[in-house]
Amino acid sequence: MRRTGSSEHVVLAMTGASGLPYALRLLDCLIAAGCRVSLITSKAAHAVAALELDQPFPARHDALAAELGGRFGAAEGQVKGFARQDWTAPFASGSNPPDAMVVCPCTTGTLGAIINGLSDSLIERTADVCIKERRDLVIVPREAPLSAIALGQMTRLAELGVVILPPAPAFYHRPQTIEDLIDFTVARILDQIGVAHSLHARWGDEG
């Protein structure tokens, strides 16, 4: 994968696994860093949002982008939403790939579709574009325990240069809140796609 310089255009895909607070905090940080963000949400992600978040996702992708962009202080046009079957999205083609893509949270079903090249949705197609164009692709699977099937699929993706980054918070930074635990994982994601942050002190640094 590329991993040179910083990511200016990031595709953030949310699927139906538990863990949407990770994705929203990531979006907040990407906006704060000045990144241009393209959002894709699966139908199942909307169902999970109704369970995990205080406010459910708007049904329309453009309304969702406007609502979340406004919540986190995005500039006009900084966050755009795309339907999961929107094949006219610019990054659906290898001629216009994003700098990076993060699938957070990622279901094992989406994981399997990506490694098998199914490309039945814009999420899967964009992941395929990132792999073939050697752009950063980070997958955040939220599943436990992991089956031998999922582990095998993750291994195959890692061999292609995809970063598999399950939410696995550490405790050396002495987290005091759930937000501290979320920030630890989000910081690791940002590191992988070259986006600067100051979410917490790094190992060996002064707190």
The angle subtended at Cα 7 by Cα 74 and Cα 154, nearest 5°, is 110
Q: What is the pLDDT of residue 200?
A: 79
Phi-psi region of 19 (alpha: psi -120 to 50; beta: other; left: phi over 0): left
Res 92 pLDDT > 70: yes
Core vs surface per residue 36-55: b (16+ CB within 10 A) or e: bbbbbbbeebbebbeeeeee
How many whole angstroms separate alpha carbon 44 and alpha carbon 113? 15
Q: What is the pLDDT of residue 3?
A: 54
Q: What is the pLDDT of residue 43?
A: 95
Could you give all domains of the chain from N- to C-terminal order, each with its CATH number? 10-192 (3.40.50.1950)
Q: What is the pLDDT of residue 168?
A: 93
Q: Return the closest-CA partner of residue 172 out of 126, 204, 139, 138.
A: 204
Core vs surface per residue 65-86: b (16+ CB within 10 A) or e: bbebbeebebeeebbbbbebee
Express each pLDDT in 20-38 by its tens digit. Answer: 999 999 999 999 999 999 9
What number is the average pLDDT over the span 92-99? 97
Taking the mean position of all CA atoms in its chain, how far away is CA 67? 18
Residue 199: phi, psi to the nearest 5? -70, -30
Res 207 pLDDT > 60: no
* 186: Cβ contacts below 8 Å, ≥ 6 apart: 22, 25, 26, 29, 197, 199
Res 1 pLDDT > 90: no
pLDDT-above-90 percentage for the chain: 89
Name the pLDDT band for 205 (thresholds 50, 70, 90).
confident
